[in-house]
C-alpha cells in the first residue's frame, strides 16, 4: 500500500497539519494538506500546504520568505492528523504567522477574554505585498 493511502483524508481530500518548531517544541501553526502537498513536502523537505481560501497549493514562505524546512513528518494514531517538525527560516527570531508573530497561537484565554500575549516581530504590511 502506498504511504499516502494510509492517511485518512477528509471528504474534501484534506488532512489537518500541525507545524511544530523542532528546536523549541513550540506549536507554530495549523494548516491543511492535500495528497499533492504532502507528497511534495516529503519529496522536497520543505512545507507545502493546501490553501483552502485560494484553492491551491501554498508553498510556505512563497510570499513572505518564511520557509519551513521539514525534519520529520509524523502521523497520529488515527492516521488523520499530520505533525511536521520544522525549522522556520526567513527571520530571526522565527516568524510563522501571517500577523508577523512567531506562532499563530498568540492569543491566551484569561479572565473571560482572549488576550494577545506574543509580540509582533515584523509588521505584516512589510511582509506581504
Of 95, 88, 96, 99, the residue nearest 23 (C-alpha):
88
- Please state, in angstroms and rounded to a whole number, the distance separating the CA atoms of residues 116 and 119: 8
pLDDT tops 90 at residue 129: no
Domains and CATH numbers, the chain: 3-91 (3.10.20.810)
Q: Report whether 100 contacts 80 (CB < 8 A).
A: no
- Please state, in angstroms and rounded to a whole number, the distance separating the CA atoms of residues 112 and 49: 33
Mean pLDDT of the 98-123 span: 97
- Phi and psi at 6, nearest 5°, equal -80, -15
pTM of the model: 0.93
**Per-residue pLDDT, 128:** 83
Per residue in 37-75, pLDDT tens?
Answer: 999 999 999 999 999 999 999 999 999 999 999 999 999
Residues 6+ apart with CB under 8 A from 34: 9, 13, 14, 15, 50, 57
Amino acid at each position: 500500500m502506498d504511504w499516502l493511502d494510509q492517511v485518512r483524508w477528509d471528504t474534501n481530500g484534506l488532512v489537518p497539519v500541525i507545524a511544530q518548531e523542532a528546536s523549541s517544541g513550540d506549536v507554530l501553526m495549523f494548516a491543511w494538506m492535500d495528497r499533492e502537498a504532502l507528497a511534495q513536502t516529503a519529496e522536497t523537505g520543505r512545507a507545502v500546504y493546501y490553501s483552502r481560501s485560494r484553492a491551491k497549493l501554498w508553498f510556505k514562505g512563497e510570499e513572505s520568505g518564511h520557509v519551513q524546512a521539514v525534519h520529520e513528518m509524523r502521523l497520529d494514531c488515527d492516521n488523520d492528523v499530520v505533525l511536521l517538525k520544522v525549522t522556520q527560516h526567513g527571520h530571526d527570531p522565527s516568524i510563522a504567522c501571517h500577523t508577523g508573530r512567531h506562532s499563530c497561537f498568540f492569543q491566551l484565554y484569561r479572565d473571560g477574554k482572549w488576550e494577545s500575549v506574543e509580540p509582533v516581530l515584523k509588521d505584516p504590511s512589510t511582509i506581504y505585498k
